[in-house]
Amino acid sequence: MTCTGAPLRIQLLGPIRAWRHGEEVALGSPKQRAVLSLLASRAGEVVSGETITNALWGSDTPQTATNGVHTYVARLRRALEPGRGSRVASTVLSSEAGGYCLRLDPADVDATLFVERHGHARRSREGGSAETTLRLYEDALALWRGEAYAGVPGPFAATEGVRLRDLRLTAVEEWASVMLATGGYAEAVDTLSRAAVEEPLREKVRWLLMLALYHAGRQAHALAVYAETRQLLRRELGIEPGTELQDLHRRILAGQRELRLPGGSSSPGSRQGPGGAVPVPAQLPPVARGFTGRDSELAHLEGLLDDDTVQGGTPVIVVDGPAGVGKSALVLELAHRLAHRFPDGQLYVDLCGNGLRGRPLSASDALLHLLTSLGADSNRIPRDPAGRATLFRSLLYGKKTLVVLDDALSVDQLRPLIPRGASCVVATSRQRFAGLAARDGARTVSVRPLAVPEAAQLLTTLSGGRLVGHPEAARRLAALCGGLPLALRITAEGLLANSGVPLGTLVEQYTAESGRLDRLTVGDDALASVRDAFETSYQTLSPEAARMFRFLGLRKDGPITVPVAASLADTDHTTARRLLGLLVAHHFLEEYGPRFRLHDLIGIYAAECAEREPMLSRRAALARLGETDQDPTHPAAPPHAAPRPLLPRPADAVAPGSGAAKEPGEAYAGVFRRAAVLRRAAFRKWEDPVRPGDFTDLTARPTDLTAR
């Protein structure tokens, strides 16, 4: 979004301050400043109300949060545009669809300008003169006026403050390296001494400080820094200094004249395990056989990693999607492709969020696994989760390590496993983690089922030649599997296991909805069952959301709107919209503007879940839905539809030719069958055009497959 508006400058690298036309603006309460700091950090972007409330309160959001945000925004508008009339739209802080936008040039926010200048200085190190490089670093560091986001409450400010502080210390280290290379030892000692006090466990700072002291003729002081560092690391983390620090200490003791900056892939912070050097971890599982497609998704993920690397901080990407969509396969393919970028190793933890491989790991258990993999002494690993998280971040600090966290269940399980510095985290989950994006700057990427050509190609590749020369059958089976890689792989195994059965017969067997989920199952293996995969996701829903999902199973073949969902679940529109949002976040529903749809296989599963509701509840839900569908002004009704007759009451229903009233259950059953037929006919006339990757045009029964 192109931003225009009145001249405005905002300071985030210190106490939050703002200037309009050179005059400072009174910004009000701490939470009001927190709102401004979030909007300023994303100047020119629309920030949703949900993101703002998560940034201010996290998981402890009060009921008054939404009204509070409206109040803070209104007060900020008055402060930033004191002469604006009450009926004149704001040109600085505007309301947009879905949130608010601070119309400001990002270069007028000091934190954004610091990141930009730091990038220029880094590039100058590769080809510019030392004098120019030092000036660029100093211009970047001169923007700081204290702790970033000082005095601002909320989880977003805390996280961003840590990220920017880490980036500033990285800039200090890089500046000091250039300064030492030019012989500016005394200047480096002063700056590095302050940095060592600020971050006492940062080994690279202490390595540079020891080198600067030694070259400045202060050998005793350099040795004292090492002794202090060793004592601190033993007491706080139970570890010895890294090999670079130990090597520098030995060289200083020996009085060597030529001590150079570290080169190659080694860096200060390398660890010594109890039995010597710890092997570089290489824990990635193998990629899935026959991995197909996903080129655009892989390119997008690589681009996100490149962008976050340039911006600084620890890149965190969460790939989410429905059960069986191939999230783990995609992330492992990405990890193997990028392994060469992470010379300090690749860590992998299966967090078991779906419960099929055992109980979900707690963050503390996952940290124990990670710390052991990094060579930490098991006798010195802290028992408390906070201590383990601190040790984990310390061991990975300054290293380029890829951390793959598969099948995360919750944000609380994932957040302690995010290190600091140059490492990268890629995780998978069956639900969206909006809070992790708002508080921790994580990038979330949703994965959809494979498109028809890719799904058919995967099925053909895995089925051992059974579909070679039968592209139409491959496309039909791919459609019946809904493009879900798990279903496609199970189907391919079924084709191989039934090599004596004609292909047309097998295709027909998969066509029947009533037994399709039974066929998409490998006996005695819960990991190879589409129904079990859906069931474990269903078990994570709240009781309210699970109830809504069961009622939606009564409408699995048609589009769903908020009024339709409210009618089925017998609730108000606000509650229905919230529950539909939860189902979207858990990938049980796909959202298309005001309408929602169930994926084909999830719809079959939802219909099964609907059977868990009592018969009378289902009948009442369908009766309410019938009344909703009859309203031609209702969003769920077909355009220009004439009102249909009301459904007859059970007492009005008469058995054909007998004149006798039917039993209520029998009467309702016939009525609802007829109503369902009418609704399906109406939906076919007005449904949206088929989208790319949609399989609805391929699931109709073909007439030319039975002979194959």
Choose among 83, 211, 187, 87: nearest CA to 134: 187
**499-505: Cβ within 8 A, 24+ apart:** 499/466, 502/708, 503/466, 503/467, 503/470, 503/473, 503/705, 503/708, 504/473, 504/705, 504/706, 504/707, 504/708, 505/706
Please name the helix (run of DSSP H) or strand (run of DSSP E) that holds residue 503, with its range, or none.
helix 503-511
Q: Which residue has the higher pLDDT, 560 or 159?
A: 560
**pTM, to two decimals:** 0.62
Whether pLDDT at 642 is above 80 = no
Name the β-bridge partners of 346: 282, 402
**d(C-alpha 209, C-alpha 203), whole Å:** 10
Read off the pLDDT band of 649 (50, 70, 90): very low
Calculate the CA 9 to chain-centre distance: 32
Of 14-28, 410-424, 564-578, the least confident: 410-424
Residue 190, exposed/middle/buried by CB under 10 A (0-12, 13-18, 19+)? exposed
Q: Which residue has the higher pLDDT, 705 or 595?
A: 595
pLDDT for 235-272, tens place per residue? 887 778 877 788 889 888 887 766 655 443 333 444 44
Mean pLDDT of 147-175: 89
pLDDT of 592: 86
pLDDT of 313: 65
pLDDT for 493-548, tens place per residue? 889 888 888 888 888 888 888 889 988 888 667 677 899 999 999 999 999 999 99
pLDDT of 544: 94
Q: Which residue has the higher pLDDT, 38 or 357?
A: 38
pLDDT for 81-131, tens place per residue? 887 776 777 888 888 877 899 988 888 999 999 988 988 898 888 777 889
Instruction: Tell me the residue type at 625.
Output: L
- Spell out the alpha helix ranges (H) of 108-258: 110-127, 130-141, 155-181, 185-198, 203-215, 219-237, 243-253
Whether pLDDT at 489 is above 80 = yes
**d(C-alpha 59, C-alpha 62), whole Å:** 9
Is residue 327 helix, strand or coil?
A: helix
pLDDT for 585-598, tens place per residue? 999 999 888 899 99
Instruction: Tell me the residue type at 596.
Output: F
Mean pLDDT estimate for the chain: 81
Q: Is the alpha carbon torsion for 84, 86, 89, 94 positive or negative?
A: positive
Eight-class DSSP state of 129: -
HSE, CB side, 13 Å, CA atoms: give it for residue 649: 2
What are the residues whose beta carbons fall under 8 Å from the beta carbon of 320, sequence distance 6 or more? 327, 428, 429, 430, 431, 432, 433, 444, 445, 446, 447, 587
Mean pLDDT of 282-303: 88
Read off the pLDDT band of 706 (50, 70, 90): very low
Whether pLDDT at 43 is above 60 = yes
Whether pLDDT at 184 is above 70 = yes
pLDDT for 44-91, tens place per residue? 888 888 889 888 888 778 888 889 999 999 999 999 888 777 677 788
Choose among 582, 584, 554, 586: nearest CA to 570: 554
Of 156-160, 340-344, 655-659, the least confident: 655-659
Mean pLDDT of 393-401: 81
Read off the pLDDT band of 234 (50, 70, 90): confident
Instruction: Tell me the residue type at 126.
Output: E
Whether pLDDT at 165 is above 60 = yes
The span from the first CA to the last CA of the chain, in angstroms, equals: 55
Whether pLDDT at 623 is above 50 = yes
Q: What is the largest CA-CA distance in the chain?
A: 113
Question: Token pair for residue 579?
Answer: 């529950």
pLDDT for 9-20, tens place per residue? 999 999 999 999
What are the residues whose beta carbons fall under 8 Å from the beta carbon of 220, sequence distance 6 or more? none
